[in-house]
């Protein structure tokens, strides 16, 4: 996988139907092959005429949005964010979910929320409460403490002290085919496919 321009669509780490019945094959095709691909294409289009940016990684671009040429800041924010978010989202799911956090992350979740059940409830509230399109996230700080945040559109909670671990896409394109307007049901089902081993890995090896 190239980590700089031209960016490529990251293949799914499992089959399109692997997450059924929780997330259906049709949604995965639409979401990955069409929506995610469009973010990749539009990010590349935005960067096409800026060769000085062609050696930057996606993280470097997103962490330095304000330093980019003004005319492409919005396109990189939306489409670069779209690529980052969907890479993490699709990689963060698995048909072989442990259904429960593991290792150090499990301890950090207990420390912050008292119990996994309480974490789930709080996370669900954040994902339901995101008005319109966006994401709910589990992030950690430099002390290893975790918290839940939500972002609008394709914004990424990136700064020097926040490490994104896990996120759910609550854009309607992520669930409308199967769940229509029932976002709560989609969120409940997503909990069955979380890759907690991957989340534990990212918690121990922060991206930021
Ligand atoms: Mn999406």
**pLDDT value at 160 more than 70:** no
Q: How far is the CA of 174 from the centre of ligand 1 (A)?
A: 5
Q: What is the mean pLDDT of residues 125-144?
A: 96
Q: What is the pTM of this model?
A: 0.96
Coil vs helix vs strand at 43: helix
Percentage of the chain beyond pLDDT 70 is 99
Query: Ligand 1 centre and the CA of 144: distance in Å?
Result: 28
Q: Where are the domains of the chain?
A: 25-91, 103-204
154 pLDDT higher than 70: yes
Q: How far is the CA of 170 from the centre of ligand 1 (A)?
A: 7
CATH architecture of 25-91: Orthogonal Bundle (1.10)
192 vs 122: CA distance, rounded Å: 16
Dist. CA 179–CA 185, nearest whole Å: 7
- Rounded distance from Cα 143 to ligand 1 centre (Å): 30
Q: What is the mean pLDDT of residues 95-123?
A: 98
208: confidence class by pLDDT, cuts 50, 70, 90 = confident
Q: Is pLDDT of 75 > 80?
A: yes
How far from 165 is each of 26, 29, 59, 148, 149, CA to CA, in Å?
26, 24, 14, 10, 11
Q: Average of pLDDT values for 180-199? A: 98
Residue 183 Cα to ligand 1 midpoint, Å, equals 14
pLDDT tens, residue by residue, 9-64: 999 999 999 999 999 999 999 999 999 999 999 999 999 999 999 999 999 999 99
CATH topology agreement for domains 25-91 and 103-204: no
CA of 91 to the centre of ligand 1 (A): 13
Structure-token pair, residue 154: 């394709």
Would the pLDDT of 116 be above 80? yes
Q: Give me the pLDDT at residue 2, please.
A: 82
Spacing, Cα 133 to ligand 1 middle (Å): 9
- Compute, in angstroms, the gap from residue 31 CA to the centroid of ligand 1: 6
Ligand 1 mean position, distance from CA 30 (Å): 9
For residue 1, report the distance from its CA to the centre of ligand 1, in Å. 20
Percent of the chain with pLDDT over 90: 95
- Mean pLDDT along residues 88-108: 98
The answer on pLDDT for 92 being more than 80 is yes
Q: How much distance in Å is there from the Cα of 203 to the middle of ligand 1? A: 23
Average pLDDT over residues 141-152: 95
> How high does pLDDT run on average in the chain?
96
Helix (H) or strand (E) holding 169, with range, is strand 163-169
- The class level of CATH for 103-204 reads alpha beta
């Amino acid at each position: 996988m190239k980590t700089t321009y031209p960016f490529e669509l990251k293949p799914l780490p499992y089959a399109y139907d692997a997450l059924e019945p929780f997330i259906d094959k049709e949604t995965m095709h639409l979401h990955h092959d069409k929506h995610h691909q469009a973010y990749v294409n539009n990010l590349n289009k935005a960067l096409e005429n800026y060769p000085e940016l062609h050696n930057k990684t996606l993280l470097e671009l997103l962490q330095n949005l304000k330093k980019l040429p003004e005319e492409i800041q919005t396109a990189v924010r939306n489409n670069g964010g779209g690529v980052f978010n969907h890479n993490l989202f699709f990689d963060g799911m698995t048909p072989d979910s442990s259904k429960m956090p593991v290792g150090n992350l499990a301890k950090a979740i207990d420390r912050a929320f008292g119990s996994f059940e309480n974490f789930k409830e709080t996370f669900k509230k954040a994902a339901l409460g995101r008005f319109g399109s966006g994401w709910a996230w589990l992030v950690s700080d430099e002390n290893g403490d975790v918290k839940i945040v939500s972002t609008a559109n394709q914004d990424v909670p990136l700064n020097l002290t926040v490490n994104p671990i896990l996120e759910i896409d609550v854009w309607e394109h992520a669930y409308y085919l199967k769940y229509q307007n029932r976002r709560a049901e989609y969120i409940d089902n997503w909990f069955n496919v979380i890759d907690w081993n991957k989340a534990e890995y990212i918690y121990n090896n922060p991206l930021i």
